[in-house]
Structure 1
């Protein structure tokens, strides 16, 4: 099976030597997307809503770069530094996803890659081999 690295512009994770996503076997595996702006810094320090919004924008950007989109997501894993934000995750899913909703795991962690990060979202999606991604 051939692995294809997916690049985004900008790619704030390049300094960490990881791929935004990898396409393999008809699927797209998206690395954890945090609330990172184009400058590589966390947006909205202490503002969960801004970070969650940016994380979803980054997830969408990685999927589009892989010729896929949010509607092709099969599975998401959402990492939170506080489960107190769980109700906001339900609203976030309602806003960004539609039926059939992707399978989902939500995990509370003590920390993410930087102390300012409050959320990180990784996903597995279907690669759009038919060219129908929006």
Structure 2
């Protein structure tokens, strides 16, 4: 099996020993993305909708680098600090899909990298 590393300057650089995404066969595994603006390397914070929007834009950039889009996503995992933010996160998340939605779970966690409020990972096939 060939493993292809996917990286783009249009999403935040990894902050550890991992890649933005790895394509194995026709499946793309995207590492969890947090609300870092890749142009400024600054965290987007203070508004959960703005944070989620940035996360989704980062994911979009990685999908595009791999020649895919949100319609190729088959699985998402959303990690959030406060389940009370779920409806706002869900509202923003849903706007990025035009076809069928992927499978998904949403998990409240005790902490996320850099103290962010939301992180999303995805698996896409194409």
Q: TM-score scaled by structure 2?
A: 0.91
Following superposition, the deviation at residue 11 of structure 1 comes to: 5.0
* CA distance in 1: counterparts of 2:109 and 2:95, whole angstroms: 24
Q: TM-score scaled by structure 1?
A: 0.86
* 8 Å Cα contact 2:70/2:97 also seen in 1: yes
Question: 1:38-117 counterparts in 2 under 5 A?
Answer: 38=38, 39-43=40-44, 45-115=45-115, 117=116
- Indicate how the Cα distance of structure 1 residues 52 and 27 shifts in structure 2: closer, same or farther if over 3 A, else same: same
More strand by share: 2
* Partner secondary structure for residue 64 of structure 1: helix
Following superposition, the deviation at residue 94 of structure 1 comes to: 2.7
CA RMSD in angstroms, aligned pairs only: 1.4
May I ask how many residue pairs the two structures share in their alignment?
125
For structure 2, the 5+ residue unaligned runs are none
* 8 Å Cα contact 2:81/2:118 also seen in 1: yes
Cα-to-partner distance string for 1:42-93 (whole Å, 9 max, x where unaligned): 11x2221111000000000000011111110000000101000111133123
- Indicate how the Cα distance of structure 1 residues 58 and 70 shifts in structure 2: closer, same or farther if over 3 A, else same: same
For structure 1, the 5+ residue unaligned runs are 128-134
Following superposition, the deviation at residue 107 of structure 1 comes to: 0.5
Following superposition, the deviation at residue 15 of structure 1 comes to: 4.5
